[in-house]
Structure 1
Amino acid sequence: MEEDNAGDIFKSLSGGKVDVETEAFVKLCDRSFNARLRVRGNILCVQAISEAVEPLIFILVKHQVLKAEDNHPDFPHGFVIQFKNETLTVYLKDKEERERWMVKVATASHDMAQAELDEIAHRLFAASTAENGVDHKEEKTAEGKPGSSSFEDFFLTNPCTIQHKFSITQKAGVPARLITYSETIAESKLSIALPVEFVKLYKQWTTEMIQQIESFERRCPAQDESSRQELCRLLRENSETLEQTWEFLSTYSGPSFRKSIEKRRVAFAPVPTNLHYQRFGPIGGEERHVLTAGVAAALPLRFQSGGLPKLRSSLSLHPAYTDAIFSAKRSELFEIKKMIGALSYKLENEWPNDKECDRLDKLCVDLQAGVKQVYARLRDVETGLAGVERHVDSLMDIGHAPDTLRNQLDNMDAMLVSLQTKIAVIDSLMESPSELSSFSLNTRESMIGVLDALLSLCTSLIDAQQLGRLRSLARSADTAVYVHIILRADFVFSQASTIAATAVMSRLQRGWPMNGGAWRSISSRLLIRLVRCPSSVSRTVTPLVAGSRHCVIVSLPLPQDFFDALPPALRDPAHYIRVCTSFWSLGVNHEATIGYQFGGVAAETAINQTALSDLQSYASSRSPLSAAAQEALAELQVVVRADPSRKNMLLYEWAMAAGTELDGELVVSCKSGKDRTAMGVTLEQGRLMRQASGLNATQAAEVVDALRKNGARREVCRKNIDKAAYSFSAFQMHFLPKSFRPPSGTFAHGLST
């Protein structure tokens, strides 16, 4: 120690606060005297009382503390501090005081002193930050839940908040920074409530479909009767499955999520596995939000014949007869029938008498325009129905169609030409009331004939569509696959829609993005509408589901004060939210490695290239983009072009970054939504810490390991399998990318997943 520094240190110890202080008798080498002892951190100061001896300062490093073998008459309790080259013996009067001093001196070290200084520096930094207007205290709601808001309580339940304190070592002697990091994970109330509504709607659809097929019995040709009966039988089995599912879910009283160990239970099939909402970030800094869930798949129905894509490819069915398209065309045909009825009503009740010639011309023009519109829509539907001409001919053979389709269309064309000519004649006879009166009756009869022909054509197309589906399912095996696809697709759609609805609620909670840009829907089936809660004291979200197979409308009630604060466009009852999705796939386990070896990377490559295209299309609708969003999209494009598969972790990093910068809702998913999902979420948390706190790669990796050991994701494991452990085996660990490997002691093999 420098001699001039010793005096300064002694003065600071003499005048400042110390950890322990006492009077004792000390022996050092051949000298002994009464002295006052002080300890602060790892510095021991000895100041003589009875003799003129210079103060002594000892640095407590690499020392040992032992009990003294001899005793002093006035100070019977002694202990020895052994340094490398000398020994200091201290004698105290009280035994308990000796024990206290021995513990203090034995535990004194440079690391302890540094930790104490870091804590002091953090308190000083926190105090100065608070004075500048940044408050680090937790926000509490009226119900006393830390870090939550009333709207979060409206659609989330069972929150679990964990706070972490990370001490970040600095260079050049700068005190370590203490970062307080918080993460909250909660379950979605929609996780069970929305699938219950979907199952009710699916039951209605299935019942209507059975009624349609049963009512077709009288018009069904004899050779197609077996196909009709088989389709009805299998649909009744679907109806029974849906009925049992609804009975279970409507009376369910367990946790507000589907455990991973229940992912193969049929009654839970429409419920997403492990749907959780998580927000995280340094206190006082930027927060991120992410949804986690198991894969949206009909796991209880197994995959003996493959999933939906493989099943659909194995079925030789024209796209016009697939469930959603069939429903859309059938709905359009019934809408056309309503238009024909409206035109007939208008013709019957608004046709003028002989004294109202001025109204006749306008009415004829309006009716002619309506007839042309109806006929054009019928031709569009007829063009999209495979084999419709053959099916109408079969119906004519058994007396359930007035003529062949070709003859009906030719007759319709001729009638339209004749009608147009008569309307033109009426226009020319407006100045001759006597001739106009007799001719108008003839025109009216022609108009009635045209509408009757349109109605007959529409009915023929409806029956031909039903017959075409039956004939496409002539084989019993095809019928079974078709009905199985309907049930499987319904379950998957329910899961995906529940995740999407939770994402919309999460986005509303953070503030709706008002910087323009329409949300383009990849699947036009789902529309989400925001409605005002009828009750001002409602404390939970109660969704409603309606619509048809080709267009489903999910209504999400919001608290009245929250709804009233939304932008006018979102409060409009006619406004619907279309969810734009960008689905990325990245296999990271041993199954992915085997798949790459034997199946290649074509499927995953195609998925990720499509996802990039979808993300770029969405980004193009939002202008201008921030510099960070442009950079993330550019980097993501480079990564996808270089290698969009083969466990390329840059793909995950930049896909998450691009989604964040575009104000999207991030959803991380694996089969169970528990183990690999936890690795992905904690990796994203590490990326946030690097951005927000300036950590280097090594420090960020240590933070990620700490979050995997003590963070909220282990709580998800505990809720699922009653053990706070990830389900990985030593064999699987060899195939996981390094950044996806859990720390030692946090995983086990053979756990239920």
Structure 2
Amino acid sequence: LSAEFESGEPDLYLEAFSKSDCKSWIVALREANSEGLQKRIRHLQQLIMEIQGSEPADSLGREITQAAGAVMIPKLPNVEFSLACRELAAPARERKPNAVVQIAVTNTQEQSLTTYTSTEIVEGTRDPLFLTGVTFPPEYPICEETRVKLTVYDVKDKSQETSCCLFYKTHPKIIFCLLQRSFLGSTTFSVGELLKSKEQQLTLSLRTSDGTNTVGTVVVSRFRMGEIEDGEVDQIATDAQGQKCTLVCESASHGTTNDKAGSPLMNAVFKNPVCKVYRFQTVDNKWMLVREQMAECTLSFNIPKQLITLYIQEDMRRIQELKDLGDLSPHWENLRKEVISHYGQMISSYQETLTEMSKLTGSSFKPSCSKADKYLEFIPINLHTQRMQVSCPRKTDAAYDVITVGAPAAHFQGFKNGGLQRLLSRFEAEKKNFSTTYQCIYYSPENTAKAKEVLTSISLLQPLISSRADQLLQAAQQHCTSSLKEALKTLSDKTEQFVHALKDELVKNALLALYTARPGYVNKRHSAVCNNVDGSESPPKQDRPPPLKRQDSIPHHSEYDEEEVWVNVAKSLNCIIAMVDRLQEHENNNQDATAEPSLADVITSHTTGDWQEQLYPLVVTLKDCVTEVVDRARKSMTFVLLQEAACSIPQGLLLKQRRDVVFSQALTALACGFVMRLYAGLKDKGFLQQLHLVGLIAQFESLLSTYSEEIGMLEDMEVGISDLQRVTFKITEAKSEDPSDLQPVVSGRRDYYTVEVPLPHEIFEALPNEIKEGKPLQVYPVLFNIGINQQQTLAERFGDISLQERINQKNFEILDSYYKLLSEKVPLQYLPCFQTQTDLKELLETLQQNILTKKRKNVEILWLAGTICRRLNGIRFTSCKSAKDRTSMSVTLEQCALLRDEHELNKDYFIRALDCMRSRHTQGDVSQWDDPEAGSVADNKPTSRNFYPVALLLVSSHLLVVWLILSLALLLAKYHRHTQGDVSQWDDPEAGSVADNKPTSRHFYPVALLLVSSHLLVVWLILSLVFLLAKYQ
């Protein structure tokens, strides 16, 4: 047994004589750690204070227990502050400093200094006002004694900025920058000094490293978002861009109680938040406060694990159903064994994946470097939630959410042959050939889907019919006429649904197909094959061989009729209805003292307790008939799926596995977005009404290009997002407020999934009755894609973008249909209000026009789709290949656009706000957005190797010129030599004619060579251009 210490001390190795000793050591060590002891001490202190009814505290406000002598450190509020410097020393006479402040935290216990974050760079001023503030979330380990060190640097060359990541226990994703910089000065202060300051502000002197000289001052001003009441303001006079203005930091509370960061409900699903806070100036010279929070989601691993378990259970049920088919002919028996074998291989693969996933600990997301990991292929890439909260003077606070996730795609399986959309289309086209090879009946995708629908329906309806029949008997036992009538009505409804689900020609034809596949079946008419799906028989032919060579379609039921089986269910129900009518009639006759005895009196001339005895045999008969019908229908539909699986081995099962992978990633992202949107709207009555009457729109914004491998990713994503239409949500009441009881639960099968979202009792009781009763909540997923990188440039010039155009057009139709449905059922005044009051119908028309317009990299489509989604109370998702570079550029640009359009961000601060949010220009491959106000984007400076084609192209052009000159000189020399050769005199001076100096064919060799070389040059130029563009990818 080895014990590792986070402090860096040498590992400790312990030897145990048995497993039980080893386990006891592990338990003892876990109980002995400082965190566990502190928790126990705090719990005991709390019990003591509850008994004594007192809360003694020391001078620092810390609660003290005299008996134990321990100190309880109170939980601090959110510590957030802004920074500004004044009168910084100039590094040189002719240059003002480019200031940046690095913030570090001193660990009071270990006396170690940890770099925490840094501000943006403010160039060319001695009085910089930093827009990026500092925030310590509640879970960050600080106390009043914690000291914060501020170090001011002068950045010499901002273009040489490089990124560096710090990884430590509480915030593994904090990123700061290492710059070519020079030290100006530093200062320190304690958190307690800032909290106890009356003005909530500290003015500190910056000193050099030896502490002798002062090089300026730094002003630390605390943000009090959510703590100011009745319009209290905190005014700080600062010098910003040469003019005096007033910093107004006023705020109301953020969101709802359950939606606040750090609430138990949010902490159950969202983990490890990373926060940033900014202050930006509005058009009226006031200041708005903006908080960004990015968090991981526990569903990244939770939902895929549940789905894989459901996949395994479904496939195991399918194997059992295949085994329950009974005896089959040798041909079908061999096919059944082969299908069962492939299902077994898939189950083993899924079980292995589930085992490996169960071993994973640590972060709650999959990084992009693991996207091709076999055991992580079901997990979405870089799934995070991004929330921007805005507080403006004298305005209601607002919050904007977006889910960032890598495009749902099967990276491990690769994209050599395309993605799901292309593979499925190709597979359906080749399926008939497979049916010939395996001598199967070809079923269309519609028939296969119908078979799965029938299996789902009978699985759901059979237990419902049984439970309704039991309720009928219970009502009869209670001798309650109204309850008896109500129970009979529900039983009739469910039974009619059951019969209707089985009244399909596919079920009857499948029963005949199964009948003909039995070992003892003999085809007397030699016409077991029907040539069309409708079931018309082919005329018998004398030369047709008796063995079954091929079945192209569904056979017709002529010898084998199951009509009697379905009729028995209806007859049994009619008997029950007749008996209930007689019982009710008898009850009415008993109440009428003057009524004559009737036939009903004779039938029911027993005690009132005999109602149940009279209904019981009829109910048993109904249950038996339903059971028999279910057994036959299940076998027939299973036989349909057996033939479908046999025709698709092995490619079909591989496609199913790929589809499972993509769907798992898509569903995980959707569940994360739904939970976040639900938590944000729990107190919005309009939103809740929209949720249960219509459902929510889920808009996926994709930035993938239609070039190279990303075409396959987009094809995978298209199918994955489309499959989300089979998902519904339900709100349930949680058993407790324990985080494990607040996790969403997935149920169902591949054709239909339900995600149950538990809520605590108090919150659940405040919901509308329709939601509390378990009404399925619909989600309408839509996908819009616009490629924005250099690969898309190649696709638009040399490739094909029809996939992108088709996706956008198809999903616009879904979005437009949702808007029409919403307009019919929900008053539009329930939708959220925005500063820009553009009509939704007008926005949809503009979106349609942009989709139909042929324009390169038309990002207007994405902006319009995102705006419409927010207006419709929808869920926003942004994706690219790995949810990093392009995604972050899109999200930050959208946030700044929202601040400009909805919160009156000063246009002079737009670019500065954009740079602050991006912190460090994103490394990678992002092209310019077609928005003049978008500001700067990533510095995509190519390396020296990217200029090799340019240099080669320049050299080749010079060589061409030399070649042309030499070729021309050679040609002229040939002509000159010929004219100065054997013919040296004129034939007739007066005639003026000369000898015929016609050049021979060899004289044209240079000309031909010149023409060939010119064509080769054209080819070389094209190849060089393509090579150059590829280098920039």
Give the TM bin, normalised by the shorter chain.
Answer: 0.5 to 0.7
Equivalent AA in structure 1 for residue 421 of structure 2: P
Q: Does 1:498 align with 2:668?
A: yes
TM-score normalized with structure 1 length: 0.66
SS of the residue corresponding to residue 848 of structure 2 reads helix
Q: Does 1:550 align with 2:751?
A: yes
When residues 613 and 347 of structure 1 are mapped into structure 2, their CA distance, relative to the original with a 3 A threshold, is: closer
Report Cα offsets for 1:635-690 as digits up to 9, x if no partner: 34223224357421111111111111222121111121111111110110121121
Indicate the residue corresponding to 2:457 in structure 1: 332
Return the match for 2:352 from 244, 252, 256.
244
What is the CA distance between 1:432 and its match in structure 2?
11
Contact conserved, 1:412 with 1:454, CA < 8 A, in 2?
Answer: no
When residues 181 and 295 of structure 1 are mapped into structure 2, their CA distance, relative to the original with a 3 A threshold, is: same
Contact conserved, 1:320 with 1:385, CA < 8 A, in 2?
Answer: no
Indicate the residue corresponding to 1:664 in structure 2: 874
SS of the residue corresponding to residue 527 of structure 1 reads strand
Report Cα offsets for 1:543-575 as digits up to 9, x if no partner: 3222233332222333445445x4243761523
Return the match for 1:462 from 607, 631, 634.
634
SS of the residue corresponding to residue 271 of structure 1 reads coil
What is the CA distance between 1:633 and its match in structure 2?
4.4
Indicate the residue corresponding to 1:230 in structure 2: 338
Indicate the residue corresponding to 1:744 in structure 2: 939
Return the match for 2:265 from 147, 151, 154.
151
Report Cα offsets for 1:299-319 as digits up to 9, x if no partner: 222233332222322133522
What is the CA distance between 1:524 and its match in structure 2?
5.0
Equivalent AA in structure 2 for residue 585 of structure 1: N
Return the match for 1:135 from 245, 248, 251.
251
Alignment of 1:9-88 (within 5 A): none
What is the CA distance between 1:327 and its match in structure 2?
3.5
Give the number of aligned pairs. Answer: 599
Cα distance between partner residues in 2 of 1:157 and 1:185? 9
Q: Does 1:480 align with 2:588?
A: no
Return the match for 1:641 from 831, 838, 849.
849
SS of the residue corresponding to residue 788 of structure 2 reads coil
Indicate the residue corresponding to 1:318 in structure 2: 444
SS of the residue corresponding to residue 116 of structure 1 reads strand
Indicate the residue corresponding to 2:155 in structure 1: none
When residues 371 and 276 of structure 1 are mapped into structure 2, their CA distance, relative to the original with a 3 A threshold, is: closer
When residues 159 and 747 of structure 1 are mapped into structure 2, their CA distance, relative to the original with a 3 A threshold, is: farther
When residues 414 and 673 of structure 1 are mapped into structure 2, their CA distance, relative to the original with a 3 A threshold, is: closer
Cα distance between partner residues in 1 of 2:793 and 2:389? 33
Return the match for 2:896 from 686, 710, 719.
686
Return the match for 2:561 from 408, 412, 433.
408
Cα distance between partner residues in 1 of 2:676 and 2:942? 31
Cα distance between partner residues in 2 of 1:533 and 1:369? 33
SS of the residue corresponding to residue 553 of structure 1 reads strand
Return the match for 1:651 from 861, 875, 898.
861
Contact conserved, 2:402 with 2:875, CA < 8 A, in 1?
Answer: yes
Cα distance between partner residues in 2 of 1:460 and 1:101? 93
Alignment of 1:165-180 (within 5 A): 165-166=279-280, 179-180=288-289
What is the CA distance between 1:448 and its match in structure 2?
10
Q: Does 1:727 align with 2:924?
A: yes
Cα distance between partner residues in 1 of 2:333 and 2:598? 56
Contact conserved, 1:679 with 1:708, CA < 8 A, in 2?
Answer: yes
Equivalent AA in structure 1 for residue 418 of structure 2: G
Alignment of 1:505-654 (within 5 A): 505-512=675-682, 513-515=684-686, 516-517=689-690, 518-520=693-695, 523-536=724-737, 538=739, 541-564=742-765, 566-569=766-769, 572-597=772-797, 600-620=800-820, 621=822, 622-625=826-829, 631-644=839-852, 646-654=856-864
Cα distance between partner residues in 2 of 1:420 and 1:180? 67
Contact conserved, 2:515 with 2:521, CA < 8 A, in 1?
Answer: no
What is the CA distance between 1:198 and its match in structure 2?
1.9
When residues 649 and 351 of structure 1 are mapped into structure 2, their CA distance, relative to the original with a 3 A threshold, is: closer
Indicate the residue corresponding to 2:974 in structure 1: none
Equivalent AA in structure 2 for residue 388 of structure 1: A
Equivalent AA in structure 1 for residue 644 of structure 2: S
Alignment of 1:174-213 (within 5 A): 179-213=288-322
Indicate the residue corresponding to 1:291 in structure 2: 403
SS of the residue corresponding to residue 163 of structure 1 reads strand
Contact conserved, 2:840 with 2:868, CA < 8 A, in 1?
Answer: yes
Shifted more, 386-395 versus 369-378: the winner is 369-378
What is the CA distance between 1:276 and its match in structure 2?
0.7
SS of the residue corresponding to residue 212 of structure 1 reads helix
What is the CA distance between 1:328 and its match in structure 2?
2.8
SS of the residue corresponding to residue 726 of structure 1 reads coil
Contact conserved, 1:588 with 1:737, CA < 8 A, in 2?
Answer: no
What is the CA distance between 1:321 and its match in structure 2?
5.8
Contact conserved, 2:327 with 2:519, CA < 8 A, in 1?
Answer: no
What is the CA distance between 1:202 and its match in structure 2?
1.8
Indicate the residue corresponding to 2:152 in structure 1: none
Identity %: 20
Alignment of 1:116-127 (within 5 A): 116=239, 121-122=244-245, 124-126=246-248
What is the CA distance between 1:294 and its match in structure 2?
0.7
SS of the residue corresponding to residue 290 of structure 2 reads strand
Indicate the residue corresponding to 1:65 in structure 2: none
Indicate the residue corresponding to 1:394 in structure 2: 516
Cα distance between partner residues in 2 of 1:491 and 1:534? 31
Equivalent AA in structure 2 for residue 495 of structure 1: Q
When residues 505 and 735 of structure 1 are mapped into structure 2, their CA distance, relative to the original with a 3 A threshold, is: closer
Cα distance between partner residues in 2 of 1:448 and 1:400? 36
SS of the residue corresponding to residue 292 of structure 2 reads strand
Contact conserved, 1:220 with 1:467, CA < 8 A, in 2?
Answer: no
Cα distance between partner residues in 2 of 1:462 and 1:594? 52
SS of the residue corresponding to residue 472 of structure 1 reads helix
What is the CA distance between 1:500 and its match in structure 2?
1.8
Cα distance between partner residues in 2 of 1:139 and 1:459? 53
**What are the ranges of 5 or more consecutive residues in structure 2 without an aligned counterpart?**
1-85, 89-125, 128-207, 217-236, 432-442, 478-484, 524-555, 583-596, 606-615, 697-721, 947-1029
Contact conserved, 1:224 with 1:474, CA < 8 A, in 2?
Answer: no
Equivalent AA in structure 2 for residue 510 of structure 1: A
Higher relative helix content:
1
Cα distance between partner residues in 2 of 1:384 and 1:290? 45
Contact conserved, 1:263 with 1:300, CA < 8 A, in 2?
Answer: yes
What is the CA distance between 1:344 and its match in structure 2?
10
Indicate the residue corresponding to 1:73 in structure 2: none
Report Cα offsets for 1:328-384 as digits up to 9, x if no partner: 3113345566688789999999999xxxxxxxxx9xx9999799837842543x334
**What are the ranges of 5 or more consecutive residues in structure 1 without an aligned counterpart?**
1-17, 21-40, 43-95, 105-113, 353-361, 438-443, 715-724
What is the CA distance between 1:210 and its match in structure 2?
2.0
Contact conserved, 1:520 with 1:578, CA < 8 A, in 2?
Answer: yes
What is the CA distance between 1:425 and its match in structure 2?
12
Contact conserved, 2:808 with 2:851, CA < 8 A, in 1?
Answer: no
TM-score normalized with structure 2 length: 0.49
When residues 411 and 699 of structure 1 are mapped into structure 2, their CA distance, relative to the original with a 3 A threshold, is: same
Cα distance between partner residues in 1 of 2:769 and 2:942? 49
Report Cα offsets for 1:8-51 as digits up to 9, x if no partner: xxxxxxxxxx999xxxxxxxxxxxxxxxxxxxx99xxxxxxxxx
Q: Does 1:301 align with 2:417?
A: no
Q: Does 1:377 align with 2:577?
A: no
What is the CA distance between 1:255 and its match in structure 2?
0.8
What is the CA distance between 1:530 and its match in structure 2?
2.7
